[in-house]
Structure 1
Amino acid sequence: MRDGWWRRAASQVGRSIAVWAVSTVTMLVLAGILPDFQLQSPDGDSATTIAVTAALGAGAFGVLSAVVWPLLVRLLLLVPALVLGLLVFFLNGSLLLLALRVNPSGQPEAAPETAVIVAAVMSAVASATGAALAVRDDEAYRRRLHRLAVRRRRRQPPCSSAPGTVVVQLDGVGHDVLRDAVDRGLMPTAARWLGAAPGQDPTHRLTPWRTDWSSQTGASQLGILHGSNHDVPAFRWYEKDTGEVMVCNRPAGAVELQRRAVERTGDGGLLTADGASRGNLFSGGAGELALVLSVSARRGRENRSRAGYFAYFCDPANAVRTALSFVADAGREIGQSLRARARGQRPRVSRGGLYPLVRAFATVVERDVVVAAVIGDLLAGRTAVYADLVAYDEVAHHSGPRSRDAEQVLRRLDRALALIERVAEHAPRPYRIVVLSDHGQSPGETFRARYGLTLADLVRAGCGLPVPRRAVGVPPGVEPWGSTRSGAEARAAVRAALRRPAEERGERHRPARGFEPVVLASGNLGLISFPDVPHRMSREEIDARHPALLPTLANHPGVGFLLVRSEEHGGVVLGARGAETPLDRLDAEPGPLAAFGPGAAAAVRRTHSFPHTADIMVNSFHDPADGEVLAFEEQIGSHGGLGGDQGRPFLLSPLALSPPVDGGGEVVGAEQVHRVLRRWLEEAAGPQVPLAARQAPPEGPAEPVGDQPGERAA
């Protein structure tokens, strides 16, 4: 035992000396390159004096980084994450200036702006050197990662020996996209788990599941984490009782939706038992939070949504690597966008403005911080972890779900899964890694690009209201009235990081004229509401006010079907050429829903029962042959409604867990995914560690028929 201790100590000392030597050489090279960085006096010094000055400067900088830096980061935990990321460079440069000032050898000097550069380069080189020297030493690798979490667990009892569960959400990755990526070798870690390579036994099973009509992160993740997504008809919708537009990725909206779900279920969420929520819209009842939107607007010591940043930023090299990767990915996006434009690629949407920065945040910053937080959770031995990686969803919106750009993101996400798997091997308890998606994405050009007008323009025309002149032949790249920003999940992560409840244009829409309809879009799902009528209008009322509106919408080639309330039938689905099917006959006579596959009727009936369902629900055209839909937003990969891969995400679960469903059944709806995950947590905990009791809803999706308003959460 003692010999082993000496060997580990000698190995650590050797690595420290090697890192010091490399840092010294790096400082000498930078002094020779940068004119404002000097290691010698104006009169000149010998080579030996310069080398000693560099060695002492590198050593002092290393000691200050190890001792002072963690204290500075802890003091700055209440600073928003992105601001802290920028301060890293200035604080790191200040530490270098301090190291040069206390240097007893020579007269080293550096301009403040040069010190920032030198400190960043030296931190990156030192970190890379240390990692390279420890790469073949599993125990050293474990100790290096263990520093991220051990301090937070010193005062807590040892964790249970029962298996923990890590759930990683690959936002927007459809079942067929994942299957194809595995078959093509883009995701070797997932392929190994599935036994796709010769001679490999599978450790996981891949199961598709079917989303609700609202196939988007807000509805899916609320149902998965909190067990209920009742009354979430879309990503954004107008609520007549408050006169406000509810938006899933707005902090106030996320807080309210989580409150309603907790009130409806009587349970705090999936993660209430020693859980951690990372990068999500909702907390799931977890006590450990990072980049969680529903708590991002809170202030005070009780808000721990940024505590995970300490584990990441306590090493300044992390910020340097992330910043360099951020710049590289923003440049990569600009290059890919210019190449697509030069080739005349179709379909195509605008990718200018702040989008390259939003994309780089999603693909680099959010990924790095969330993965680092998950690593800390593993080494701390937490019971349940749920983390969302939004990178693929953001890129697929603008480049297409099967584009080369999106495939590159899948490769990097697979590497993140490999890192999590490797760290789990060094955790204080065994872990089962579950990977899932909240929805897929369906390809297709935008409604505006194909027809030269937005859904709002079509509604205004059907109501006999003036239509803007630019409604036909809109120039590419111009955002018309009625369109909405894409990249919702990435923007939500940016908001959580900035701790700013910024809102999209029109999200707090209070109509200036009461008779004007409110038209909102959620992917290929459109919602039309008349704010001057306090209740949900019926088909008969709409026809009496605007006789041409419903025929105009139903007969448009870009529209698949409409859902409206009916005084005679309770609810009806309308299609082209006068097609009309009451909700209670959809299973026998699918009518306009025939192209949308099994489960569409149940999803439509369930949404019809929601208190805040819009007066008119519009689902775009869907081509079953190629899976294309027409987004009402500016997206060429979209989700939010019915049609194509967007409604077919996946569950990738270890074989050690029970099958998601028995007897060849199908997982339907996010609420059933919640029940599956809760069952797996209970299996892992065993009878001696029961999870919080909960009144679980019955198995299977709710399928109300007719005009049943259901409960309204207070």
Structure 2
Amino acid sequence: MTTWRNAGAALLRVLAVWAVSTLTMVLLALALPGFHLQSADGDSFTRIGITAALGAGCFGLLNALVWPWLVRAMLLVPALALGLLVFLLNGSLLWLALSAIPDGRGTAGPSTAVVVAAVMSVAASATSTFLAVRDPDAQARRLRRMAGRRAARSGTARHTDTPGIVFLQLDGIGHRRLCAAIEGERPQMPALAALLGTSHRLTPWHTDWSSQTGAAQLAILHGSNEDVPAFRWYEKDTGEVIVSNRPSSAAELQRRAVERTGSAGLLAQDGASRGNLFTGGAGQAALVLSVAARRGRGQRSRAGYFAYFSDPAHAARTAASFLAELVREIAQALRARFTGTGPRVSRGGLYPFIRAFATVVQRDVVTAAVIGDVLNGRTSVYADLVAYDEVAHHSGPDSRDTRQVLARLDRCVATILRAVEHAPRPYHLVLLSDHGQSHGETFEAAYGHTLEELVRIGCGRPVPRPPRRQETGAEARGAARVALHRPERPARPRPAEDDRQERGRAPVVLASGNLGLISLPDVPGRAGRLTIERRCPALLRTLAEHPGIGFLLVHDERHGPVALGAGGAEHRLATGEIVGHDPLAPFGPRAAAAVRRTAGFAHAADIMVNSSVDKDTGDVHAFEDQIGCHGGLGGEQSRAFLMSPLALSAPAPGLVGAEAVHRELLRWQREATLRPTPGQPAHAPSRPR
């Protein structure tokens, strides 16, 4: 009886979706001048309705039978181009459906067919969602459609009482910012607030000196971020610039970490990596930069896009949201300019498109991929949502723009929690961030020159005009370039025009948020303090005395690593001896240990520069074009969060460094394996006792 009842309910849903699609087609025929459902002599309304029903039914069948094969045939198409091509192909399917109607009653021009197909796909999807609200099985099927047919069928769901774990990284959200978002009677993130009140605990953790995704996620997923001094750095032995969000650099960093630890990574046992810089050893990786060039089964970095766009309704909804986000960003940028809101940075060029990609496309595709993994019963999933981080760089960590992004990320978490209710096994959800964000006016806006210009002045070299600008270090930019099949940019630093005659002699100056890195490329190995002073006698003094710089890290031939500050201040890190005032004091009690660790890296720059920090507000000055930044010390960027289930043991107190977070996640994986939940329904999430 249950089988017949379910079959009857499914048939009723199909008929309801068909009826709505038919009505939608009739209304579009009345509204669009280029779309007709009747002969030239005219037809009765009944005849028009029958024609619409035939067209809608044929269109639905073509979508169900032909569409997955079309998407599979386009695996070499750039992912974002696929999102646009979906509309053309869907319109072509509608044109074929209309052609099948007898007597030529269904006609539509090419552009009209695209519009009609998109509207009908969205209407059918919305109807199916509405009908699934009270039916758990139908909700599960809807979630599978959201995850993409190909993702939902890629593996056999494993029914077990042993819990799996979903690690969801909310990129760039600091501990203080999260607390503000979940507090009060009307929290900005109600789903997270509900978790914290019932089943989860919130724990802060402190990042390394390099408070950015490249270092944090490499350690979290692979157990080590040794020799990762910044988001980008210059390696003298190869003459290359390593950039964390460049696919070739991400692959090399992952290789080094695996070689150093001897472990494949956090996700090596039946894991999935979604939207990350690194795989974590996962057998299934989608939208992952370190495998962007691979073509093996389960390792296509763009596979998540194809799974998501296998449903034409996704393309229509995402395209509408993408356009809305473009308009929203332009309006918010104009409002900030007209109201004189400060500090501000440039928000033109490609940034509106990068923001729309991060806050719409990447968010939706990663969420859908995680849902597919959960419904397939995968053991471990690690996913990164980069939307907040991208917007905070340009709008500020606490702006109204970022509050809107937080609310939308909260809805993604709620959707994943609904998927967990229909999973074939219980799941623990662990939420975490890789770093926070610090606010402040850019170094250039505050002082009228860039760090590179200041270095050239200290070296007595001419300052090029206009100055060269660095590309800002945001993960979304690397992901967008991969999605578009854009080639990597040159990995070698390019000399300024007036350096062409003495190539390699000008210092290489790179930025990672409010952390700057200065290397003398023609000095082998780490340049010592005396060597730097002989080559550029005024450089260290020019930097240390600048009001926008908090301290420098150099290697002293006598004392080892030394942090230099204004007025001849020194903190000799090997012995703890302090000369004058302590230049590290404004950065907190953990600063000395963090700087000492980085000083031991083989590829630490000859001079590491950290901007100053306002002791009252925590504001810093980014050496990049960002008013919300991270990468160094100062402010909220070094305080990330970890929200873990009460059903698992509490994290160790005073977590410092991403490698310590990796050890906690490994421990929770072992606990989940050793603590099955017998007698609990396989589809229900585990509950704390």
1:373-384 equivalences under 5 Å are 373-384=369-380
2:518 partner amino acid = I
Cα 1:309–1:259 shift into 2, 3 Å:
same
Q: Deviations over 1:91-148 (max 9, x none)?
A: 1001000000011255211111111111001101110111112112222112332465
Task: Give the SS at the match of 1:651.
Answer: strand
Seq. identity, %:
66
Q: State how far apart, in whole Å, the 1-side matches of 2:494 and 2:207 are.
A: 31
Q: State how far apart, in whole Å, the 1-side matches of 2:511 and 2:594 are.
A: 18
Q: Deviations over 1:338-379 (max 9, x none)?
A: 000111111000001111110000000000000000000000
Task: Give the SS at the match of 1:642.
Answer: coil
1:68 partner amino acid = V
Q: Deviations over 1:22-46 (max 9, x none)?
A: 1111111111222211112222222
Task: Give the SS at the match of 2:430.
Answer: strand
1:444-593 equivalences under 5 Å are 444-468=440-464, 480-481=467-468, 483-486=469-472, 488-503=474-489, 507-511=491-495, 512=500, 513-586=503-576, 591-593=582-584
Q: Deviations over 1:501-556 (max 9, x none)?
A: 432xx742154422100000000000000111111100111111111100000000
Q: State how far apart, in whole Å, the 1-side matches of 2:138 and 2:296 are.
A: 37
Scaled by the length of structure 1, what TM-score is found?
0.91
2:462 partner amino acid = P
Q: Which residue of 2 aligns with 1:212?
A: 208
| More off after superposition, 125-134 vs 75-84 | 75-84
Q: Conserved in 2, the CA contact under 8 Å of 1:297 and 1:499?
A: no
Q: Deviations over 1:273-332 (max 9, x none)?
A: 000000000000001111000011224556432333343222110111111001101110
Cα 1:311–1:157 shift into 2, 3 Å:
closer
Q: Deviations over 1:645-667 (max 9, x none)?
A: 10000000000111110xxx311
Q: State how far apart, in whole Å, the 1-side matches of 2:331 and 2:522 are.
A: 48
Among 61, 65, 68, the residue aligned to 1:67: 65
Among 273, 277, 301, the residue aligned to 1:277: 273
Q: State how far apart, in whole Å, the 1-side matches of 2:428 and 2:157 are.
A: 22
Q: Which residue of 2 aligns with 1:622?
A: 613
Deviation at 1:673, TM superposition (A): 0.6
Q: State how far apart, in whole Å, the 2-side matches of 1:681 and 1:300 are.
A: 27
Q: Which residue of 2 aligns with 1:677?
A: 665
Q: Conserved in 2, the CA contact under 8 Å of 1:159 and 1:382?
A: no
Q: State how far apart, in whole Å, the 2-side matches of 1:539 and 1:319 are.
A: 57
1:159-308 equivalences under 5 Å are 159-184=159-184, 185-195=187-197, 202-299=198-295, 301=297, 303-308=299-304
Q: Which residue of 2 aligns with 1:686?
A: 674
Q: State how far apart, in whole Å, the 1-side matches of 2:115 and 2:614 are.
A: 54
Q: Which residue of 2 aligns with 1:640?
A: 631
Cα 1:155–1:606 shift into 2, 3 Å:
closer
Task: Give the SS at the match of 2:102.
Answer: coil
Q: Conserved in 1, the CA contact under 8 Å of 2:79 and 2:306?
A: no
Task: Give the SS at the match of 2:345.
Answer: coil
Q: Which residue of 1 aligns with 2:87?
A: 89
Among 654, 665, 689, the residue aligned to 1:666: 654
Deviation at 1:491, TM superposition (A): 0.6
Task: Give the SS at the match of 2:516.
Answer: strand
Task: Give the SS at the match of 2:332.
Answer: helix
Q: Conserved in 2, the CA contact under 8 Å of 1:149 and 1:377?
A: no
Q: State how far apart, in whole Å, the 1-side matches of 2:483 and 2:670 are.
A: 33
Among 577, 592, 595, the residue aligned to 1:604: 595
Q: State how far apart, in whole Å, the 2-side matches of 1:408 and 1:421 are.
A: 20
Deviation at 1:486, TM superposition (A): 2.5
2:20 partner amino acid = V
Cα 1:158–1:109 shift into 2, 3 Å:
same
Cα 1:669–1:582 shift into 2, 3 Å:
same
Q: Which residue of 2 aligns with 1:443?
A: 439
2:492 partner amino acid = R
Q: State how far apart, in whole Å, the 2-side matches of 1:141 and 1:62 are.
A: 20
Deviation at 1:253, TM superposition (A): 0.3
Task: Give the SS at the match of 1:332.
Answer: helix
Q: Which residue of 2 aligns with 1:119?
A: 117
| More off after superposition, 567-576 vs 307-316 | 307-316
Q: State how far apart, in whole Å, the 1-side matches of 2:155 and 2:347 are.
A: 49
1:176 partner amino acid = R
Scaled by the length of structure 2, what TM-score is found?
0.94
Q: Conserved in 1, the CA contact under 8 Å of 2:215 and 2:225?
A: yes
Q: State how far apart, in whole Å, the 1-side matches of 2:157 and 2:657 are.
A: 38
Deviation at 1:584, TM superposition (A): 2.3
Q: Which residue of 2 aligns with 1:695?
A: none
Deviation at 1:396, TM superposition (A): 0.3
Q: State how far apart, in whole Å, the 1-side matches of 2:434 and 2:350 are.
A: 26
Which consecutive aligned stretches of 4+ in structure 1 deviate over 3 angstroms post-superposition?
A: 146-160, 299-303, 585-590
1:591 partner amino acid = D
Q: Conserved in 2, the CA contact under 8 Å of 1:442 and 1:644?
A: yes
Q: State how far apart, in whole Å, the 2-side matches of 1:588 and 1:528 are.
A: 24
2:396 partner amino acid = G
Q: State how far apart, in whole Å, the 2-side matches of 1:303 and 1:219 are.
A: 22
Aligned length: 665
| More off after superposition, 58-67 vs 163-172 | 58-67
1:361 partner amino acid = F
Q: Deviations over 1:427-484 (max 9, x none)?
A: 00000000000000000010000111000000000000012466xxxxxxxxx41x32
Task: Give the SS at the match of 1:668.
Answer: coil
Q: Conserved in 2, the CA contact under 8 Å of 1:243 and 1:510?
A: no
1:308-323 equivalences under 5 Å are 308-323=304-319
Matched, 1:369 2:353: no
2:350 partner amino acid = L
1:494 partner amino acid = A
1:352 partner amino acid = G
Among 329, 338, 352, the residue aligned to 1:333: 329
Which runs of no fewer than 5 residues in structure 2 stay unpaired?
677-689
Q: State how far apart, in whole Å, the 2-side matches of 1:241 and 1:430 are.
A: 49
Among 37, 51, 56, the residue aligned to 1:58: 56
Cα 1:256–1:151 shift into 2, 3 Å:
closer
Q: State how far apart, in whole Å, the 2-side matches of 1:78 and 1:152 are.
A: 21
Q: Which residue of 1 aligns with 2:684?
A: none
1:83 partner amino acid = A
| Aligned Cα root-mean-square deviation (Å) | 1.8
| More off after superposition, 258-267 vs 133-142 | 133-142
Q: Deviations over 1:605-634 (max 9, x none)?
A: 010000000000000011121110000000
Q: State how far apart, in whole Å, the 2-side matches of 1:616 and 1:151 are.
A: 47
Task: Give the SS at the match of 1:591.
Answer: coil
| More off after superposition, 332-341 vs 27-36 | 27-36
Deviation at 1:149, TM superposition (A): 6.7
Q: Which residue of 2 aligns with 1:694?
A: none
Q: Deviations over 1:537-592 (max 9, x none)?
A: 00111111111100000000000000000100011110001111211244878810
Q: State how far apart, in whole Å, the 2-side matches of 1:86 and 1:17 are.
A: 30
1:686 partner amino acid = L
Q: Which residue of 2 aligns with 1:357?
A: 353
| More off after superposition, 300-309 vs 43-52 | 300-309
